[in-house]
Amino acid sequence: MKKRLTIYTATLTAFIIFGAFFLTPTNAQNSSQNTKSDDQKIQKQAQAIFKPLAETMPASEANPTTAEKVRLGKKLYYDPRLSLSGVISCNTCHNLATYGSDNVETSLGHNFQTGGRNAPTVLNAGTHIAQFWDGREPDLEGQAKGPVLNPLEMAMPDSELVIQRLSSIPEYREEFAVVFEGDEPVNYDNVANAIAAFERTLVTPSRFDDYLNGNNNALTPEEKEGLQLFMTKACITCHNGAGVGGSMYQKFGVVKPYKNQEDLGRYKITNKEADKYVFKVPSLRNITRTYPYFHDGQVWDIREAVYIMGESQLGMQLSDEEISNIVIFLDSLTGEIPEDALKLPVLPPSTAETSKPKI
Amino acid sequence: MKKRLTIYTATLTAFIIFGAFFLTPTNAQNSSQNTKSDDQKIQKQAQAIFKPLAETMPASEANPTTAEKVRLGKKLYYDPRLSLSGVISCNTCHNLATYGSDNVETSLGHNFQTGGRNAPTVLNAGTHIAQFWDGREPDLEGQAKGPVLNPLEMAMPDSELVIQRLSSIPEYREEFAVVFEGDEPVNYDNVANAIAAFERTLVTPSRFDDYLNGNNNALTPEEKEGLQLFMTKACITCHNGAGVGGSMYQKFGVVKPYKNQEDLGRYKITNKEADKYVFKVPSLRNITRTYPYFHDGQVWDIREAVYIMGESQLGMQLSDEEISNIVIFLDSLTGEIPEDALKLPVLPPSTAETSKPKI
């Protein structure tokens, strides 16, 4: 209930900001020759609509972020023993070398089976209103538990096998005992807690954040022009906040239905007619690196994706030049992946007791 | 021909050292109470049989190691676009988080097909006499070209598709042009050259090297006891040199045939009767981390592997205690993986021209 309210509030806020914005006289066509005063107006508007990324993502009281937990979570994130086959880790489909995604239409899981939806990037995912394309899990902890047990993905038959493997490894047993309280610290909730804590460090600030933090020169004139267009063309109705998206649900096909009508989106969760084709609005952080696009990964070209958005969501046909401008802005959302997250952990060895990989 | 000669010379040298060793009076049973003079004798013998790892592995004149080449090679090593599916990289089966191996019996390649042999670790592989279990490629350059085009592994249909993908990416085009000469620097030979240069940095010195370099206290008394046993029990006949193996070919089943007689080893390459069941002697560097063991990956327990070696190669049944001692020594061969190699490179994005992943 509280979540629903948040969504409506966020949507409402966006519409108010967006409405106010339309009343502000700006000259989108000539923005590359913007005067200093225009430049400052654009920045102010951007500051009202977006938010710079914080250094780490906020954690719940139930799972506070600590350095030891992050360290453990990173090992688990990179550990392929979390999959039945012993070769698929979280990083296989959310590869940090490719901005937390796998750059394929839908991921290849156990036995090369394909999932139903494109794997969203794990970067900045903790800023989202909920997890998965349909928001079926409220937080990163809930998300982390899904793929491990999904027969199409990591294919563990049950969480007991996950715990058997991990608790057979002394280094893991020790680390869980240091990080978590209780008699049996190696449990499935804590596996998810540790992974989520690691994922909350995956914040990727970019020059756009410097810009929002007051440095008007952090973006080039072309990027500012694209930003201005992104705002005037109403992309910000949905793509706003710290994630430039990720803060609400929206129907894909508000004006014109998307070419692929197979996936009913949130309807499958809520069973409400109004939720047909409704998905979580994706964050546009690092979007030029996390192709292919949309829930089905059917669109590879960012330009085509922007065109489809204009047509199906806003009922307008963006020109080639407008699309170019917007894409230039979007590329300024490509951020720095935290160095420590990119450093592969050396994983503790299995023991004679560790259950063997299976295919 | 030169290679053959090297093999025989290496084998001969090992036998000479080994013979000399047997003439030296030592007291293997009580070595944990070794006197200082015994201690020094053991170290001297070890210094004659093994060699400390160099900081980097020697490169051929045709492919000298440079910092830029290593940097490019690391990107290629971690880039899953070198596989048809777009999800399998060199690091998938030679995972540096698990000591350059994948800890499964035989690797899972395209469509989860299984290869015929266990994936050997890439760590220190440049010290080996040749590459692959059967030595069918002379060097790392030759090795690197194999899995990419193997239909069971990365499954690229031909090297042209590899080059199409890489040369469609501006950052790769630029880096190849900086690193390599010639009109078409992005070519399959150079892909292998760059990967091999990166792999030559994957040297993992351990406390054993400090010991060989003169620090007698670098090994514990138990490890020295294990080392002494490793030498007296004739393991060093084959496992000697810088790699503690990797320097010669040997029949698996000198005294007693191995349980799995399916794989004829080098015979498939040379067609010589004498090469039946002959394989490259694996290096024992990092051996306690690169389970499961042998060319077929059928043995998970290092203790069982040591027992099998004693029985099938040396015709002796090692006691539980002897096996324990040897395994303690073997664990001292676990080295440090170079930090820079563990740092995931952020990969350059594909373009509209880049050929798409296929399954």
**What is the pLDDT tens value at each position of chain A, 359 positions in all?**
444 444 444 444 444 444 444 444 444 444 455 688 899 999 999 999 999 998 778 898 999 999 999 999 999 999 999 999 999 999 999 999 999 999 999 999 999 999 899 999 999 999 999 999 999 999 999 999 999 999 999 999 999 999 999 999 999 999 999 999 999 999 999 999 999 999 999 999 999 999 999 999 999 999 999 999 999 999 999 999 999 999 999 999 999 999 999 999 999 999 999 999 999 999 999 999 999 999 999 999 999 999 999 999 999 999 999 999 999 999 999 999 999 999 999 999 999 999 999 99
First to last CA, chain A: 42
Residue A352 belongs to a domain: no
- CATH code at position B290: 1.10.760.10
Query: What count of CB pairs under 8 Å joins A to B?
Result: 97
Interchain CB distance below 8 Å, A359 and B300? no
CA distance B343 to chain A (A): 4
Q: Does A95 lie in the same domain as A222?
A: no
Q: Does B178 lie in the same domain as B115?
A: yes
Q: Does B115 lie in the same domain as B189?
A: yes
Chain B residues within 8 A of A79 when measuring between CB atoms: 97
Please compute the mean of the pLDDT values over residues B9-27 and round it to a whole number.
Answer: 45
Question: Which residues are CB-neighbours of A88 under 8 A, at least 6 positions away?
Answer: A80, A82, A109, A110, A153, A154
Question: Which residues are CB-neighbours of B166 under 8 A, at least 6 positions away?
Answer: B76, B81, B172, B173, B176, B186, B191
First to last CA, chain B: 42
User: In 3-state terms, what secondary structure has residue A85?
Assistant: coil
Residue A338 belongs to a domain: no
CA distance B358 to chain A (A): 9
Determine the Cα–Cα distance for residues A190 and A113; give it in Å rounded to an integer: 28
**Smallest CA–CA distance from B76 into chain A, residue:** A97
Cβ-based neighbour number of residue B273 at 10 Å: 7
Q: Which residues pair with B250 in a beta bridge?
A: B279
pLDDT reported for residue A57: 85
pLDDT band of B57, cuts 50, 70, 90: confident
Residue A2 belongs to a domain: no
Chain B residues within 8 A of A350 when measuring between CB atoms: 103, 291
Q: Does B139 lie in the same domain as B20?
A: no
Determine the Cα–Cα distance for residues B303 and B295; give it in Å rounded to an integer: 17
Q: Give the range among A36-45, B1-10, B222-231 with minimum mean pLDDT.
A: B1-10
Interchain CB distance below 8 Å, A343 and B347? no
Our count of domains for chain A comes to 2
Q: Does B108 lie in the same domain as B216?
A: no
Q: Does B152 lie in the same domain as B102?
A: yes
Q: Tell whether the model's pLDDT for residue B25 goes beyond 80.
A: no
Please compute the mean of the pLDDT values over residues B223-237 and round it to a whole number.
Answer: 97
Interchain CB distance below 8 Å, B110 and A112? yes
Interchain CB distance below 8 Å, B108 and A96? no
Select the residue of B92, B96, B300 nearest A344 (Cβ to Cβ). Answer: B96
- The number of angstroms, rounded, from the C-alpha of A321 to the middle of its chain's C-alpha atoms is 28
Interchain CB distance below 8 Å, B97 and A342? no
**Smallest CA–CA distance from A103 into chain B, residue:** B86
Chain B residues within 8 A of A85 when measuring between CB atoms: 104, 108, 112
Residue A217 belongs to a domain: yes
**Smallest CA–CA distance from B359 into chain A, residue:** A112
Please compute the mean of the pLDDT values over residues B268-274 and round it to a whole number.
Answer: 97
Interface residues of B toward A, Cβ cutoff 8 Å, are 78-80, 85-87, 92, 95-99, 102-105, 107-108, 110-112, 114, 288-289, 291, 300-301, 337, 339, 342-347, 349-350, 352, 356-357, 359
pLDDT band of B136, cuts 50, 70, 90: very high
Chain B residues within 8 A of A301 when measuring between CB atoms: 352
Q: Is A68 a catalytic residue?
A: no
Q: Does B228 lie in the same domain as B239?
A: yes
Interchain CB distance below 8 Å, B86 and A92? no
Residues A17-69: tens digit of each pLDDT: 444 444 444 444 444 556 888 999 999 999 999 999 987 788 989 999 999 99
Select the residue of A97, A289, A352 nearest B344 (Cβ to Cβ). Answer: A97
Q: Looking at chain A, list the stretches that DSSP marks H as alpha helix, in order from N- to C-terminal side.
A: 2-23, 36-49, 67-78, 90-93, 140-149, 159-167, 170-179, 188-199, 207-212, 221-232, 267-270, 302-314, 320-331, 339-342
Q: Which of A105, A141, A153, A175 is catalytic?
A: A153
**C-alpha distance from residue B184 to each of B141, B167, B181 (Å):** 18, 10, 8
Residue A355 belongs to a domain: no
Instruction: State which amino acid sits at residue A334.
Output: T
Query: What tokens appear for A210 in the block?
Result: 């410097």
pLDDT reported for residue B34: 67
Q: Which of A155, A176, A203 is the last residue of a domain?
A: A203
pLDDT reported for residue A34: 67
Question: Which residues are CB-neighbours of A113 under 8 A, at least 6 positions away?
Answer: A151, A152
Please state at what angle helix B188-199 crosses helix B170-179, rounded to 10 degrees.
70
Q: Which of B203, B225, B247 is the last residue of a domain?
A: B203
User: In 3-state terms, what secondary structure has residue A210?
Assistant: helix
The chain-wide mean pLDDT, for chain B, equals: 92
Going A179 to A184 to A187 to A189, the CA torsion angle's sign is negative
Interchain CB distance below 8 Å, B87 and A99? no
Q: Does B191 lie in the same domain as B211?
A: no
Interchain CB distance below 8 Å, B300 and A356? yes
DSSP at B280:
E
pLDDT reported for residue A181: 96
Q: Does B237 lie in the same domain as B171?
A: no
Q: Tell whether the model's pLDDT for residue B201 goes beyond 70.
A: yes
pLDDT reported for residue B33: 58
Please compute the mean of the pLDDT values over residues B92-102 and round it to a whole number.
Answer: 98
Determine the Cα–Cα distance for residues B116 and B221; give it in Å rounded to an integer: 40
Q: Does B213 lie in the same domain as B199?
A: no
Residue B352 belongs to a domain: no
- Residues B344/A96, Cβ–Cβ less than 8 Å: yes
Residue B18 belongs to a domain: yes
Select the residue of A339, A352, A357 nearest B301 (Cβ to Cβ). Answer: A352
CA distance B314 to chain A (A): 25
Range of the domain at B244: 2-55+204-331
Select the residue of B111, B344, B356 nearest A96 (Cβ to Cβ). Answer: B344
ipTM exceeding 0.90?
Answer: yes
Residue B345 belongs to a domain: no
Q: Does A297 lie in the same domain as A268?
A: yes
Residues B281-328: tens digit of each pLDDT: 999 999 999 999 999 999 999 999 999 999 999 999 999 999 999 999
Q: Does B75 lie in the same domain as B179?
A: yes
